[in-house]
Amino acid sequence: MLDVAKIRADFPILADEAYPGVPLVYLDSAASSQKPLAVIEAMNQYYRHSNANVHRGIHRLSEEATNAYEGARERIARFINAPDSAEVIYVRNATEAFNLVAATWGRANIGPGDEILLTEMEHHANIVPWQMVAQEKGATVRYVPFAADGTLDLTALPQLLTERTKIFSFTAVSNVFGTINPVTELVAAAKAVGAVTMVDAAQSVPHMAVDVQALGCDFLAFSGHKMCGPTGIGILYGKRHLLEAMPPYMGGGDMIRRVTLEGSTWNELPWKFEAGTPSIAEGVGLGTAVDYLNTVGMNNIHAHEQLLTSYALEALRDVKGLTLIGPPATQKGSVATFTLQGVHPHDIAELLDKDGIAIRAGHHCAMPLHHKLRVPATARASFYLYNTTQEIDQLVQSLEKVRKVFRLA
């Protein structure tokens, strides 16, 4: 089990007060996690002692920066068990990864009459880019429905996955329901009809061990800021043969091998997709975040979060008028999404904030999901390696105060 008190000491912001005399209770890690001191110091060390551009410099600072940046890529590749670090592309976030694949692989491989398969529980980042490509190419976007309990209706797959399906892009863990989807099974079903697969791992890579070779997926995307890393950095993993066949996403420096006035040729992987000066300090920070998570142990983190989620769902059931959204704790990641009868989620979040409790409220970039649920918004508490059951108790107590403010019976 985790020594949570020791872990919390690694995160400077958790010692802060939300307001004078009001301790911070951070329950919004599904949106963005907090950062350990090791990550903050690694980025500070780069700026203080190794700050230079990468790849093109011959001087010592440039070599140090390049080694730190590319060394981080290698460690990130090992973290997800990618067979080759050249298959690990730095992007700004998971959203950019989806746009990259949709704009390059999608435009080259999707045509009139083809189908793109998603699910009804996707984040907008895994819906909008595909809708744009479908509109441009005359293709159709179809969706695997979710059932009343927030799990995917897998009985619909045989009708939805057909020879017309070019790509099946889906989330590993829902950012609203918390549902842990059967990724390996979904990938295998797509392969059976010859479809390419892309996995939204933004809510899985930070919380559980992920092995891209075991999953068998063609592409996988995640963001650094949700896994103890900095903002402005994320990862696209792609199988080499697919990445090599794809055209570049952006043109400019570093992604070229040769430029003449008549035309250009492209650099090798991974740099073909990394035009311009990259987010060097952020790459260093993400590599350090991976080191930190490895030290704690991903299986330990997942087990701790399962205990927290089970505890939270049980405690929240005692709040009168509260309705939990999604499957039971055994089938979900570390989120507790809910509505409170008679109170808008934004009002819930605002009142909880007065008690120092940070949660998320809104549609969570999943408007189609909320439309199907026939609710405009939900409230979401999310947990990570540094959270405790005592903080969940504080959440429940604060929700009871919300009920009193709104004079709910």
- Asked if the model's pLDDT at residue 93 lies above 90, the reply is yes
> What average pLDDT does this structure show over 11-24?
97
Written as six digits, the tokens of 26 are: 């951070």
Q: Rounded mean pLDDT of 192-198? A: 98
Give the residues across from 19 on adjacent strands: 22
Whole-number mean pLDDT of the chain? Answer: 97
Q: Is it the case that residue 251 has pLDDT exceeding 90?
A: yes
Segment 114-127 mean pLDDT: 98
CB atoms within 10 A of CB 158: 10
Which pLDDT score, from 0 to 100, does residue 227 have? 98
Distance CA 63, CA 71 (A): 12
Active site includes 228? Answer: no
Beta bridge partners of 358: 26
Q: Is the pLDDT of residue 56 over 90?
A: no
| Cα 85 off chain centre by | 20
For residues 334 and 305, what is the distance between their CA atoms, to the nearest angstrom? 6
pLDDT at position 34, please? Answer: 98
Residue 332 and residue 180 in contact, taking contact as beta carbons nearer than 8 Å: yes
Annotate 378-387 with b (16+ C-beta within 10 A) or e (fewer).
Answer: bbbbbbbbbb
Q: Residue 1: pLDDT above 80?
A: no
Mean pLDDT check: name the lowest of 67-76, 181-190, 321-330, 400-409: 400-409
Catalytic one of 365, 367, 375, 408? 365
Q: Rounded to an integer, what distance in angstroms lies between the CA atom of residue 87 and that of residue 104?
A: 16
Read off the pLDDT of each residue in 76-99 and give the average, rounded to a whole number: 98
Mean pLDDT of 323-331: 96
- Shortest CA distance to 383 belongs to which of 329, 325, 308, 311? 308
In the predicted structure, residue 154 carries a pLDDT above the cut 80: yes
- pLDDT at residue 408, rounded to an integer: 86
Residue 216 has pLDDT above 80, yes or no: yes
- The DSSP element (H or E) to which 372 belongs, if any, is helix 367-373
Domains within the chain, CATH numbers bracketed: 4-30+297-405 (3.90.1150.10), 40-295 (3.40.640.10)
pLDDT band at residue 46, thresholds of 50, 70 and 90?
A: very high
Q: In 296-396, which ranges are E strands?
A: 322-325, 335-340, 357-358, 360-362, 378-382
Q: What average pLDDT score do residues 334-347 get?
A: 97
- How far is the CA of 209 from the CAs of 205, 272, 299, 317, in angstroms? 7, 28, 7, 30
74 neighbors 90 (Cβ within 8 angstroms): no
Using CB atoms within 10 Å of the CB of residue 156, give its burial: 0 to 12 exposed, 13 to 18 middle, 19+ buried: middle
Cα-Cα-Cα-Cα dihedral of 16, 17, 23, 25, to 10°?
-70
- Binned at pLDDT 50, 70 and 90, residue 243 comes out as very high
Give the pLDDT confidence of 272-313 residue by residue, as tens digits. 999 999 999 999 999 999 999 999 999 999 999 999 999 999
Residue 396: what pLDDT?
98
- Structure confidence at residue 57 as a pLDDT band (50, 70, 90): confident
The pLDDT of residue 145: 98
Structure tokens at 269: 């992987």
| Band of pLDDT at residue 384, cut at 50, 70 and 90 | very high
Average pLDDT of the residues in 387-406: 97
Contact 169, 197 (CB under 8 A): yes
